[in-house]
Amino acid sequence: MTPEAPAKKQITVPVMADLAARNESPEILFWVGCAGAFDDRYKRVTRAFVRILDHVGTNYAVLGLEESCTGDPAKRAGNEFLFQMQAMQNITTLNGYGIKKIVTACPHCFNTIKNEYPALGGDYEVIHHSTYLQQLINEGKVGVTGGESFKGRRITFHDSCYLGRANNIYEAPREVLAALDADLVEMKRSRANGLCCGAGGAQMWKEPEPGKKDINIERTEEALATLAGKADALANLGGVETETAAPGTHDLQGSIIAVGCPFCMTMMSDGVKNKEQEANVQVFDLAELVASAEGINA
Amino acid sequence: MPTILRPQTFPPYLYRMLQSILFLLLLVAAFGLFAWQVRKIRANILVGRDRDMSGHSAERFRKTLLVAFGQQKMFKRMTPALLHLVVYVGFLVINIEVIEIVIDGLFGNIFGFHRSLKFLGPVYDVLMATNEILAALVIVAVAAFWWRRNSNPPLKRFTGPELRMWPKLDANIILYIEVALMLALFFMNTADLKLHQMRGEDLPGTFPVSNLLVGLLPSSEGTLHVLERLGWWIHITGILLFLNYLPSSKHFHIIMAFPNVWYSRLVPQGQFSNVESITNEVKAMMDPSFVVPPAPTAPDGSALAPTPFGAKDVDDLPWTNLLNAYSCTECGRCTSVCPANLTGKLLSPRKIIMDTRDRMEEKYNSPLIFRPNVYGAEAKHEPITDLANATLLRGKVTPEELWACTTCNACVESCPVNINPLESIIEMRRFLVLEESAAPNSLNVMFSNIENNGAPWAFSPSDRFNWADDLFAAEKPAKAAVA
């Protein structure tokens, strides 16, 4: 089946306040997050994820204008007061609507709501969109066919700290990628040994401290060397003493760095630009890859 | 010289008794001194803030078994894991021989027996043989450790401003003592073996290494007897001295690793601690009917000084973070995986842990040997002249280090004994932000964006839902169930 100028359908995103007015409740609330709502690049991820939710007929809703920052950057920066103000405000909103289950495409929102809201009175089942996408694929609701083919393209997954080490989710994003039938390659520093993109802990909003290199450059170099299969380049990176890189060199053309976090998206994209590889290597979120493969990413 | 002091005429029973008494005194003194040092360290740890770590015994037990006894997290790096395993198992097994030495030393002399565990028979043979082989392997492993630290250049994680002077010397002293103890063990066994061989007697036990060394010793019974005694005394005195060296050294981890893993956090690593006092304030602000629980009072009912938000000094940190500092063996795995440190920033998680220990000992009880790190221009430290500012924060840890952290948990994940440098970093950030309003300016902008716009960027909250405008999906024929 080749997608020949497919027809488009408009999606009206269901808003929680409207559902509540009709006395309805969604099965799951999609927590968009500030990056997903405001950052131009990550808005495309939000839209791709909504296309998937709509495509599989999920009974979902978003808070729309009622959503506010979870407080994650404030908490990591040490501003516990501001964090708790934000958290209490969001918990009041969520509890007011009787929300039970939340899905989000941001590992920072995911970690904060899942782990830090319960102490303040917000108890929800929170899942990251990588886990949700994995479930949809396992249930056969998303076939990952009919759209763009990723067969033979080299993809490496960059672990987000707040999904990986913070919450021990390493396999779900990899299983999602495995469904694409692409060539998955692992960076030397992956899973629990993954190297941060450099944006966590509120670094996203400040200049880095003086040093000899930016963290996202170090990480991008590793990703590019892995995609290109350059063992010598990998050996020069200050990685952990684990496996050696797969030998054999590859053309970077058409390679993909896959991410599952808005901050990683920004940092890795900037890194690829810095290395002047944006014509060859693209950075995509899992939801974008799935929506494209499914042929619904208009 | 009066005749009485000449060994030949000294009555043998008196000579043996004297040895027993001397040994008893040595033992009592060594353990007494060790207990005294442990008490001081315990007091240091307890200056930390209260934190309830009770409960979950089954899970804690499992974790201690795996991570502390089983060294699970060491095996992320094979070479050092295997070398360390040799020394660790050697330490455990050779300690069984120490039990024998203590029994021999206390009673053997008086009652005229020697090698009191020999009644174990074949088990004793296996035990002694294992001991000797492990002791030889320990010497090999220690040599490798020494090389990893002292070759040029050394392993990268054994470098850094926090690992000069005393910490560097300390690491080598430990290695030298370990080799000396193993050599004394061989000295003692070889002399004993040769003595028995010369007398045509059978020495209980099997000694594969000492068997190879008998040729090196002189063939005089008197000298061999003295050498055997000398080896015995050096071995046990060395062990007791080493025991008392531990509290001054990073080698204290051989004891503290166990309680530290037991009391490690059981929640997901991404979950940062909640500040209860702030929760009360925020609740009171949002809900006028909320009654703030009364502040804790001193035992006599008087009001306590208000505790600051976050940590400025060691006593502001939870006690578990102070326990962390005594469990650290300065291996540098944390620093070697820290993204900030890897890219040349000032932050080194190991330094923060070492600074915490130095500061505790500077402010409260110090061990027998106390030589805290002094940093120079390289660590961007200005000499602290004003004692009020000699706190952990600024006195030892600079804000520049703290702000370089990405909170990625790589340090926490990498620590073989579950030390959590990230918690201390966040506590000190809290102090900087909440008590001193000393966040970097760009972060203050981010804070006010969250306050005003509900987002860390300067976007209008009314634009928050714009992403859903003109949202289209490619039409796809209704999907037949995919197998």
Greatest Cα-to-Cα distance within chain A, rounded to the nearest angstrom: 62
Identify whether residues A130 and A149 lie together within a single domain: no
Q: What is the mean pLDDT of residues B75-87?
A: 92
Q: Could you tell me the pLDDT band of residue B403, with boundaries at 50, 70 and 90?
A: very high
Candidate from A154-163, A210-219, B387-396, B419-428 with smallest mean pLDDT:
B387-396
Residue B75 pLDDT exceeds 70: yes
What distance in Å separates the CA atoms of residue A44 and residue B64, rounded to the nearest whole number? 46
Q: What local confidence, expressed as pLDDT, does residue A144 receive? A: 84
Q: What is the mean pLDDT of residues B45-52?
A: 93
Identify whether residues A128 and A29 lie together within a single domain: yes
C-beta contacts of B290-293 below 8 A and 24+ residues apart: none
Where residue A85 sits, what CATH number does that domain have? 3.40.50
Residue keyed to tokens 């002249």: B385
> In 10 A of CB B482, how many CB atoms?
13
The CA-atom distances, in angstroms, between A268 and each of A179, A186, A191, B348, B408 are 23, 16, 17, 24, 16
> Which one of A134, A158, A181 terminates a domain?
A134
Q: Could you tell me the pLDDT band of residue B111, with boundaries at 50, 70 and 90?
A: confident
Exposed/middle/buried for A262, CB within 10 Å: 0-12, 13-18, 19+? Answer: buried
pLDDT tens digits for range B207-229: 999 989 988 888 888 888 888 88
Identify whether residues A159 and A115 lie together within a single domain: no
Helix (H) or strand (E) holding B22: helix B12-46
> Which one of A107, A134, A161 terminates a domain?
A134
Identify whether residues A67 and A151 lie together within a single domain: no
Q: How crowded is the C-beta side of A154, counted as CA atoms within 13 Å?
A: 21
Identify whether residues A102 and A149 lie together within a single domain: no
The CA-atom distances, in angstroms, between B404 and each of A164, B139, B346 are 21, 40, 7
The answer to whether residue A5 sits within a structural domain is no
pLDDT tens digits for range B343-383: 999 999 999 999 999 999 999 998 898 888 888 777 777 66
Identify whether residues A148 and A108 lie together within a single domain: no
Q: What is the mean pLDDT of residues B182-204?
A: 88
Q: Could you tell me the pLDDT band of residue B97, with boundaries at 50, 70 and 90?
A: confident
Q: B260 CA to chain A: closest CA distance, Å?
A: 20
User: B310 contacts in A (CB within 8 Å)?
Assistant: 78, 80
Those residues with Cβ within 8 angstroms of residue B325's Cβ, 6 or more apart along the chain or in another chain: B353, B354, B356, B357, B360
Share of chain B above pLDDT 90, in %: 60
SS3 assignment, position B374: coil
Q: What local confidence, expressed as pLDDT, does residue A34 receive? A: 96
Q: What local confidence, expressed as pLDDT, does residue B6 receive? A: 47
Identify whether residues A148 and A247 lie together within a single domain: yes
Identify whether residues A60 and A156 lie together within a single domain: no
Identify whether residues A156 and A258 lie together within a single domain: yes
Q: Total structural domains in chain A? A: 2
Residue B252 pLDDT exceeds 70: yes
**B346 in reach of chain A (CB within 8 A):** yes
**CB–CB of B467 and A213 under 8 A?**
no
What distance in Å separates the CA atoms of residue B281 and residue B292, rounded to the nearest whole number? 7
The answer to whether residue A193 sits within a structural domain is yes
Computed from CA positions of residues B77, B330, B327, B139, in that sequence, does the dihedral angle turn out positive or negative? Answer: positive
Those residues with Cβ within 8 angstroms of residue A217's Cβ, 6 or more apart along the chain or in another chain: A271, A274, A275, B343
The yes/no answer to whether this complex scores an ipTM above 0.85 is yes
Residue keyed to tokens 């803030």: B49
pLDDT tens digits for range B277-291: 899 889 888 888 888
Q: In which residue ranges of chain A is pLDDT below 70?
A: 1-6, 238-248
> Which one of A134, A163, A194 terminates a domain?
A134
Q: What local confidence, expressed as pLDDT, does residue B480 receive? A: 44
The full DSSP string for B55-87 is --HHHHHHHIIIIIIS-GGGGGSHHHHHHHHHH
Q: What local confidence, expressed as pLDDT, does residue A195 receive? A: 95
Q: Could you tell me the pLDDT band of residue B5, with boundaries at 50, 70 and 90?
A: very low
> In 10 A of CB B357, how many CB atoms?
24
Instruction: Write out the residue range of the structural domain in which residue A70 sits.
Output: 16-134
Q: What is the mean pLDDT of residues B445-471?
A: 95
Q: A197 CA to chain B: closest CA distance, Å?
A: 8
pLDDT tens digits for range B291-317: 877 777 777 777 777 788 999 999 999
Asked if residues B424 and B317 have their Cβ atoms less than 8 Å apart, the reply is yes
Q: For residue B356, which of B394, B397, B390 has the smallest C-alpha distance?
A: B397
Q: What local confidence, expressed as pLDDT, does residue A145 receive? A: 85
Identify whether residues A250 and A110 lie together within a single domain: no
Q: What is the mean pLDDT of residues B45-56?
A: 92
The answer to whether residue A4 sits within a structural domain is no
Identify whether residues A123 and A37 lie together within a single domain: yes
Greatest Cα-to-Cα distance within chain B, rounded to the nearest angstrom: 113
**B208 in reach of chain A (CB within 8 A):** no
User: A106 contacts in B (CB within 8 Å)?
Assistant: none
What distance in Å separates the CA atoms of residue A206 and residue B342, rounded to the nearest whole number? 19
Identify whether residues A129 and A185 lie together within a single domain: no
Q: Give the residue on B whose Cα is nearest the Cα of A43.
A: B467
Q: What local confidence, expressed as pLDDT, does residue A248 receive? A: 65
Residue B479 pLDDT exceeds 60: no
Q: What local confidence, expressed as pLDDT, does residue B383 receive? A: 65
Q: B138 CA to chain A: closest CA distance, Å?
A: 23
